[in-house]
Every structure is written in C-alpha cells, then in structure tokens.
Amino acid sequence: MAGSALKRLMAEYKQLTLNPPEGIIAGPVDEENFFEWEALIMGPADTCFAGGVFPARLSFPSDYPLSPPKMKFTCEIFHPNIYTDGRVCISILHAPGDDPMGYETSAERWSPVQSVEKILLSVVSMLSEPNDESAANVDAAKTWRDDRKGFDEIAKVTVRKSLGL
C-alpha cells in the first residue's frame, strides 16, 4: 500500500510545484520521505490573518489516499478550528464515512478523491471563515462569537509572531 501512496504523493507534489495555489507553498520536508510535508500558508487577504505566514506539517498515513493526513500548525495561532497544540480540525481531515456525532455528512469528510491542494485550500478558507459551532479551541470560538474586535487583536499578534516580529 505504501508504494501506491508514495506514487500518489509524488504526483501531487509535482502538481503543486507546477501549478501552486496562490499563497501556499508545500512539499516533502525531505525528498527521502514523502510522507512528511511542510507547508507555508499566507494569511488570506482581507482577514485578520492577512500578512501572516503560517508554517504547518502534514503527516500522511501509509494507506494514503484511503485515509487522510494529519495537519498541525507549527506556530502559535488562535483560531476556533485549531487546537491549542496546532492540530487542525476541519471536516476534510476527518476519516471517511459517517460522523458518529452526526455533525458532518460523509460528503464533507475525507475521501480518496481529495488532495493535498484541496486540504490546503480548505485551511485557507477556514482561516477566512471559522466554524465556531464545532470548535477545537473553545476560547477562540467564544472570542470570535462574542468579541470580534478582541479576536482580531489576538490574530494580529499571531500574524506578527508568524513573521518573527
């Protein structure tokens, strides 16, 4: 299974280098191991994260694309859909099939037709439009909902930190 996963990851890497999505750079940490990737995601324009450059890691299972990768930001980021340790919590990264909690449809969850590019674009979208109803970081969700100005101020600090300022 790891052989077909490797082929798929190599093809996706090639596609990302030939036609990179705007504001995203991603690829293997080292070309000896295509199952560990790093990504740099620019904060989307016209959001409180604009101007930031947020590093993340993606870890792919040996049965990729049957199972989704795990994604984790390696910098501090205050967001309703990002755990305090940096793990990203969005539907596209949840195992395929029905949601045991009944919150997501199977169509929203991972399927083998998804790709690294779709994951990264979903994360950019998540930065633009947090889902505060299914929070990984309850404090961030509460702040997003109840004190948008305060949330934006925290996000601006996060942007500065992401740039080493």
For residue 30, give the 3-state DSSP assignment. strand
Alpha helices in 41-147 (DSSP H): 116-128, 138-146
120, 11, 22, 85 alpha-carbon torsion, rounded to 10°: 30
Q: What is the pLDDT of residue 106?
A: 74
Residue 104 pLDDT exceeds 90: no
Instruction: Clarify whether 75 is annotated catalytic.
Output: no
Tokens of 49: 């994260």
State the chain's mean pLDDT as an integer: 92
Q: What is the pLDDT of residue 109?
A: 83
Active-site residue (options: 48, 89, 124, 126): 89
Number of domains in the chain: 1
Whole-structure pTM over 0.85, yes or no?
Answer: yes
**CATH label of the domain that carries residue 56:** 3.10.110.10
pLDDT tens digits for 31-75? 889 999 999 999 999 999 999 999 999 999 999 999 999 999 999
Where b means 16+ CB within 10 Å and e means fewer, 70-105 reads: ebebeeebbbbbbeeebebbbbbbbeeeeeeeeebe
- C-alpha to C-alpha distance for 116 and 68, rounded to whole angstroms: 9
Domain span including residue 59: 4-162
